[in-house]
Chains A and B, each alone.
Chain A
Amino acid sequence: MEHLFTNLAAAFTGWMITLGLSPVWADIILLLVKWIIIITIITLNIIVLIWLERKVSAFFQERLGPNRLGPFGIFQTIADAIKLLTKEDIVPSAADKLIFKTAPMFFIVVAVMLYTVIPLGQGMEVINLNIGLLFFISIGSLSTIALLMAGWGSDNKWSLMGAVRSVAQMISYEIPLAFSLLGVVMISGSLNLQDIVAAQDNLWFIILQPIAFITYFIAATAELNRGPFDMPEAEQELTGGAYTEYTGMRWALFFLAEYTNLVAVSALMATVFLGGWQGPWLPSWLWIIIKTYGVILVFFWVKWTFPRIRMDQLMSFSWKVLVPVSLGNILLTGAGIYFCKWMGWC
């Protein structure tokens, strides 16, 4: 079981080489196949995830959640997807059409790109980049542009307010986000995610870096636009923020991208802080799924408990609390590493 997927990939490449393809082409085709598989998994996973969030939020609120279609309402998301696909596509007449239309596509492309570097198991990743973590952070911050495009292109005050908020928020939270990961990088000594996983062989980084974990969790919530930091959307205030003018499939793409981001960030958290795919008994790819879902459930739990924070408080929280704390964490980690070396522990 453990090497199921890696063996499959190796067999696939081997088979293509026997067909007379050069190894380079075989690699490229393998990459394409990996992408297609990942996109399929993302889409299928999101169907489950949306259903799960609905169910979980319902349970928090003593409701039942979707329960009409299929056992426990599992097919509800599919029905919704069909509904969204068949809905009329409305583009506001005053909208900046090109920007308005490309924004959701941009958003989802950026979200899917995040999966390139996440190790989904032992030796299972699309590309084993040696700056994987940096890649993840930088690609992750690109989604701001998509939201800004959506807000600008809609030509709507609510959308623009949502977009401006999201830019301000993301820029502020990018810094503690990166800083809190820095401690991990310092300990593991690598930006390669597989190396980071390997470094957690004995001890998960959540134990070595608890402060970093908490600051990363908060900053990631803000990055993901999830409650209590869902400023760009803020249904109750901005009536949907940057997404106000979107309908049908375009809106669904945003929705999809948000969940894709959520899974990616949760997977990264599992990788960086929770030991990645490492774990006893079960195969590695199952472990990462379990850990990712665990983190996702915590995201759900937080969202469905807390009220939304105010914009100015959000900013000041980032600059006055998170940035200093994560900086302090770096200092502490550095001191700790020197102390260890001095003591001869590592």
Chain B
Amino acid sequence: MNGQGLIKGLGITLKHFFQKEITEQYPDVMPELAPRFRGCLQFEFEKCIACGICVNSCPNDVLSFETEKSENSKKKKLLSYTIDFQYCMFCNLCVEGCPKDCLHFDHDFELSTFSRDDIKRVYLRPAEMDEEEEVETASMQDEQENKEQNKIEAMSKALQKNPAKILAQVLEQEEDIKILSELVQESEKTALKMAELLVKDKEKAAKVAAGFVTKEKKNRLQAEKGGEE
């Protein structure tokens, strides 16, 4: 007391006068950020599966997306993904929830914008992704065709080997089956045709099979007649 405290205080400030300054020289020297630092939320469109977990886990309705049912598969197609950043409170819940790791925070903390509209970020579906998808579907069709071809071939072989069993699917009378079986075994062309139809369309196969049979019956009748003559 009696001034000693004052003098001690003066001593402390004097000591700091000669110490190194601690001011951060931002923006001349960017601060060193910890690896976990959460700056700006980034979204990777390609990885997202539009599952909606992020939207549901966000407390502040920052995130939203639009989807479209794609024609040739049950998968939802992501059209756009919106981050309305002005409401984000950097809580990391969305990032932790995402099963595909498509959300992450980068270290960019300079988020000020001149207008409110600039804060909102909309990710549109990149054009490359649509092209990729077309190629994908095309190749898928090819693949399917290949598969069918293989099936047909297998079927025709099976027909030639054991026709009765297979043809029972399309014909009812045993006589007819026997006739067609003979036919199939004789000509590969018929076998292939039958096989294709069997794979693709059973009803049509039945009709065509019946047609084959009647035709053959007629042929045979005429042959018998001719023989008699």
Contacts and interface: CB of A to CB of B under 8 A. Distances in A.
A217 to B, nearest CB: 12
Contact of A301 (B10, B20, B22): B10
B20 to A, nearest CB: 8
Nearest to A56: B17
Contacts of A305: 6, 9-10, 12-13
A64 interface: yes
Contact of A61 (B14, B16, B20): B16
A60 B17 contact: yes
A64 B21 contact: yes
B23 interface: yes
A63 interface: yes
A268 to B, nearest CB: 23
Contact of B22 (A56, A60, A63, A302): A63
Contacts of A61: 16
A64 B9 contact: no
A64 B17 CA distance: 11
B102 to A, nearest CB: 41
B19 interface: yes
A62 B14 contact: no
A59 B17 contact: yes
A330 B18 CA distance: 39
A61 B10 CA distance: 12
A304 interface: yes
A61 B21 CA distance: 8
Contact of A63 (B9, B10, B13, B23): B23
Contacts of A56: 17
A60 B19 CA distance: 9
B6 A63 contact: no
B19 A62 contact: yes
Interface string A50-91: 000000101111111000000000000000000000000000
Nearest to B23: A64
Interface string A27-71: 000000000000000000000000000001011111110000000
Nearest to A214: B3
A220 B21 CA distance: 31
Contacts of A342: none
Interface of B: 6, 9-10, 12-14, 16-23, 25
12 contacts: A58-B21, A59-B18, A60-B16, A62-B20, A63-B21, A64-B21, A64-B23, A64-B25, A301-B10, A301-B13, A305-B9, A306-B9
